[in-house]
Amino acid sequence: MSSNSFQHDVLIVGSGAAGLSAALRLPSHLRIALLSKGDLNQGSTYWAQGGMAAVLDSEDTVESHVADTLVAGAGLCDEEAVRFTVSNSRSCVEWLVDQGVDFDHLPDAAKEFHLAMEGGHSHRRIIHAADRTGRAISEVLTERVLAADNIEVFPHRVAVDLVQHEGRCEGAYIFDRRSDRVELFQARAVVLATGGASKAYLYTSNPDGASGDGIAIAWRAGCRVANLEFNQFHPTCLYHPKAKSFLITEAIRGEGGKLLLPDGSRFMDRFDSRGELAPRDIVARAIDHEMKRLGIDCVYLDISHKSRDFLEEHFPTISARCLELGIDIGREPIPVVPAAHYTCGGVVVDTAGRSDVEGLYVIGEASSTGLHGANRMASNSLLECIVYAESAAADIAATIDRAPQPHPAAAWDESQVTDSDEDVVISHNWDELRRFMWDYVGIVRTNKRLARAEHRIALLQAEINEYYSNYKVSNDLLELRNLAMVAELMIRCAQARKESRGLHFTLDYPDLLPEAADTVLVP
C-alpha cells in the first residue's frame, strides 16, 4: 500500500453538520476517514446563525410542522420525507444536547429551551444558541470527532471523482491541497456530505467551499439529480465592500425588524400580507424588484427600535460585525442585498440517504430528499443534516458486513499532463460563470436569459474540459469544473420547468401548473 493510498470501512467527504454527525453515529468498531476541504469548522454549518427547527413546545405538533413545511415547499415536498424528518426532530435535539451542544434556555426555566420564530413557521420552534447556532453545533461535534479513536480526519482534501467497480462505489480519488498530489481512498461505503452550490452565483452568503462538488461527482458517477432550479436566495446579506458573504439572520425580522427603501419607507406590505415575515422567496423577489425598479444597490433592515440590551443578548455576532464596519444597528438600519444561500435540489436519495449508485450515500445540502420541495423552510436544513446523518449511519451499520472489500484500483495517472502556466484562465472563467448565473439564472428568469446561460455554459465547459485534460489538477480547477457542471444542471432544470413555483420564478410562465412534478435529470 503506497503512502498516497488509504483503506477504511467508511469514507465521509465533508465536515459540516451532516458529515460530522454521520461519523459520530456510526458504530465505533468501524474505521472511518473524514475529509474536510479546509480546516474543520470552515463549512456552511459553522456560519449558520438562525437555528434548527424542531417540535419541542408543548403547544406545537409534528402535524403542524409538517403542514408548514408542505406550504413552504409550494406543493413539491415529498410528504413521507417531511414526516420522517420532522418526526425525528426531538430525538436529534436530544442527541445534540447529549453531545454537549448548549442551546439557549428561557431565563426563568432551566429545562425549557428558548424557541425563536422564523418566516413560514406557525409556532416558535427554532432552537438556537444566540445567533451562532451552527458554530455551537460545529465546535462540539468537531471536538467529539477529534476525540474518537476510530475516526481519522484528513483536512485540506478535495474530492476529484469516485472509484467504482461493477457499478458499486468503492472509494474516491482525493486531491491533497497541501502536497498537490492525488490520493486514493478506498472504503466499503462512501458518504458525500459536501454541501451546496451557491458559489455558482456572484453574491452568496456561503463560504468559499460551496462549489457543488458532491452533486457534480455523483452525477458523473451515474446518479440522478432533481430540482436544481430551486436556489434559495437569502433576502438579507450585509451589503458592504468589506463584508464578504455575511448573513443578517431572518430572526431579526422575526423580532420585528422592518425592510426599508433608501427614503425610509416600508415596501413589503405591497407584496404580501405577512410583510417582513413572508417566506424567503417572496421577500427576496420583492427586494430584487425594488432594487431593479429604483436602480439602487441595496435596501435597509431596521431593528433600531429594540433596546441595546435586547440586541446585545439576541444578536451579539451581528451587532459586533456591523459595528466593526461602522454600522450601529441600535441607531441606524443595516444595508442588505439578497444572496444565493441554499441549494434546495441535489442528488436523489431515499430516507436512508442512499443514492442510485450502490455503496454511495449523499446527505445534507448536496442531496435531494424531498424535504424542501420548491422552497426550503427556514431552519429545516440543519435538522435535515442531523436526521439523515443518523439514518444513513444506521443503514451503513446494518449492511456493511455484507458489502464486499474494495477491489484493487489504479493509482491516479498524471504522466500525460503538465503544470499549467495559465491559471488566469481559471479565475477569468470563474468570474464569468458567477456573473452570468446571477444575471440569467437568478431570482427572476426568462426563456431568453436561460438560453443565453445555456450557450455560455457550453462554451465554458469546452474550455474547462480541454484544460482539465492537459494540465495537472489544482483546487481551483476542480472547483471550477464542478461548479460549471452543476451550473449546467441548474440551467437544464430551470428550462424544463414551464411554470413559476416556489423559488423558480420566470416571466414567461408566471402561473402554476395544475400538477406539481419534480424536475429529474438522468445521466
The grid cell for 138 is 460545529
Boundary residue ending a domain (296, 319, 340)? 340
Q: Is residue 366 part of a domain?
A: no
Integer-rounded Cα radius of gyration of the chain: 22
- With a CB cutoff of 8 Å and minimum separation 6, the contacts of 388 are 18, 85, 349, 351, 353, 363, 364, 367, 369
Q: How many CB atoms lie within 10 A of CB 80?
A: 12
**Residue (of 148, 171, 145) closest to 160 by Cα position:** 171
Query: Which grid coordinates belong to 158?
Result: 478535495
pLDDT score for 231? 95
Same domain, 336 and 428: no
pLDDT of residue 47: 66
Other Cβ atoms closer than 10 A to 284 = 26
Q: In sequence order, what are the residues at sequence separation of 6 or more whose Cβ sits closer than 8 angstroms to the Cβ of residue 105?
A: 111, 112, 113, 114
Q: Are 502 and 375 in contact (CB under 8 A)?
A: yes
Q: Of how many residues is the chain composed? A: 523
Is residue 456 in a domain?
A: yes
Residues 367 and 346: beta-carbon distance below 8 Å? yes
Cα diameter, the chain = 68
Where does 125-247 have alpha helices with state H? Answer: 133-147, 213-221
Q: What is the CATH number for 449?
A: 1.20.58.100
- In angstroms, the CA 192 to CA 162 distance is 10
Q: Are 162 and 353 in contact (CB under 8 A)?
A: no
Would residue 500 count as lying in a domain?
yes
The residue out of 316, 340, 364 marking a domain boundary is: 340
Please give the residue range of the domain that contains residue 326.
236-340
Q: What is the structure's pLDDT at 508?
A: 97
Q: What's the rounded Cα separation, in Å, for the pair 218 and 224?
A: 8
For 93, phi and psi rounded to 5 degrees?
Answer: -65, -45
Q: Which three cell numbers stand for residue 354?
A: 442512499
Annotate 356-386 with DSSP letters as a single string: SSBTEEE-GGGEE-SSSTTSPPTTHHHHHHH
Asked if residue 85 belongs to a domain, the reply is no
With contact defined as beta carbons under 8 Å apart, do 215 and 346 qualify? yes
Residue 263 cell numbers, joined: 427614503
Domain boundary, last residue among 308, 340, 372: 340
Cα–Cα distances (Å) from 163 to 90, 214, 307, 350, in that order, read 37, 14, 57, 22
Q: Which residues are 32's β-sheet partners?
A: 10, 151
C-beta separation of 32 from 151 below 8 A: yes
pLDDT along the chain (523 residues), means of 10: 81 96 98 92 70 93 97 96 97 96 84 85 90 88 96 96 97 95 97 96 86 97 98 91 80 92 97 90 89 90 94 91 94 94 96 98 98 93 97 98 93 81 84 92 94 97 91 92 97 98 95 96 97
CATH number of the domain within which 275 lies = 3.90.700.10
Question: Domain check: are 240 and 333 in the same one?
Answer: yes
What does the alpha-carbon distance between residue 23 and residue 36 come to, in Å, rounded to a whole number? Answer: 12
- Report phi then psi at 226, rounded to 5: -145, 145
- CB < 8 Å & 24+ apart, contacts of 415-418: 417/469, 417/470, 417/471, 417/472, 418/470, 418/471, 418/472
Query: Which 3-state string (H, E, C) describes 108-155?
Result: CCCCCECEECCCCCCCCCEECCCCCHHHHHHHHHHHHHHHCCCEEEEC
Residue 111: how many CB atoms within 10 A of its CB? 6
Residue 502: predicted pLDDT = 92
31, burial (CB in 10 Å: exposed 0-12, middle 13-18, buried 19+): middle
Active site members: 280
Beta bridge partners of 347: 225, 367
Q: Facing residues of 105 across strands?
A: 113
Positive or negative, the Cα torsion across 26, 30, 34, 40? positive
Which grid coordinates belong to 306? 429594540
Give the helix/strand (H/E) hosting 432. helix 424-440
Does the residue 67 lie in any domain?
no
Q: Are 74 and 38 in contact (CB under 8 A)?
A: no
N-terminal to C-terminal alpha carbon distance within the chain: 34
Q: Residue 269 falls within a domain, yes or no?
A: yes
Distance (Å, whole) CA 290 – CA 176? 45
Distance from C-alpha of 437 to C-alpha of 490, rounded to nearest angstrom = 9
Looking at the structure of the chain, the number of domains it has is 2
In the DSSP assignment, the letter for residue 14 is -
Residue 1: inside a domain: no
**118 near 379, Cβ under 8 Å?**
yes
Pair type for strands 360-362 and 10-13? unpaired
Closest by Cα among 341, 331, 324, 325 to 249: 341
- Gap between the Cα atoms of 230 and 361, Å rounded: 22
**Contact status, residue 427 vs residue 476, Cβ threshold 8 Å:** yes
In this structure, is residue 126 part of a structural domain? no
pLDDT at position 125 is: 94
